[in-house]
Amino acid sequence: MNEHDAGNDGPTGRPVPPTGEHHFAAAGYPPPTSPFATPPGTLAPPESAAAPKRPRKRGRILFAIVAAVFIAVGSGAVGYAIGSDESATSGTETAASPEYSYPPTTGVSTVPVTAADFSLSVLTEEKKCFGSAGCLVTISLEPTFKGASSVLTDRSFKVLYEIDGGEDPILDKFTMVGTQVTIDQSTSVETPSSDTEVTARVTQVVETTDEG
């Protein structure tokens, strides 16, 4: 062992690894590399490329804005539909015509009833003749209304009539309430002869407010 070799031996006689770069090259070892050293010809990456966080934040912000706009538009559409329904309902309620109460009207109350609407049939119940003195005839009258019975509904009348054929005309009356008639059962008429015909006719009709 020479002096150079003795200088490279450690206290235990083991070889000590070289410390300089020329010692590593002379001993056949590759030079040590530092984890913090940058290889020759290589540029250090910029700090912005090492942590691309800002584009993510932009993407999140953009997504939040788009989502917010979408929700707002959707809510507006639903509100518009609901608003349209409510306005249509409100318009229908205000457009409804108010209810008025009109007095009951019946067309029949305006139809006039006249003497021409009646006819009187004369029924001879008894006749007694006294020669040249003439006869005593007992008659009854049967009134007939020529119009529609609905015209008489809820109405009352006083009907004046005249009996002819006797010594003197006889004036009398009967009453009507609806279709119910109140009339004398019989009337006595003095005729000049047995051939005299007794007739009756309605002369006037007066509408009344009661049975009288």
The full set of domain ranges for the chain reads: 1-34, 112-208
Structure tokens at 22: 């020329």
* Whether the Cβ atoms of residue 90 and residue 120 lie closer than 8 Å to each other: no
pLDDT in tens, 85-136: 444 444 545 555 556 565 555 544 479 999 999 999 999 999 999 999 999 9
pLDDT computed for residue 176 by the predictor: 94
pLDDT computed for residue 185 by the predictor: 87
CA distance 66 to 94: 41
Structure tokens at 66: 């788009």
pLDDT computed for residue 78 by the predictor: 36
Chain length of the chain: 212
Nearest CA-CA partner of 208 in 184, 175, 173: 175
Nearest CA-CA partner of 159 in 183, 189, 139: 183
Class of domain 112-208: mainly beta
Amino acid identity, position 75: S
Low-confidence ranges of the chain (pLDDT < 50): 2-8, 49, 61-90, 92, 107-109, 211
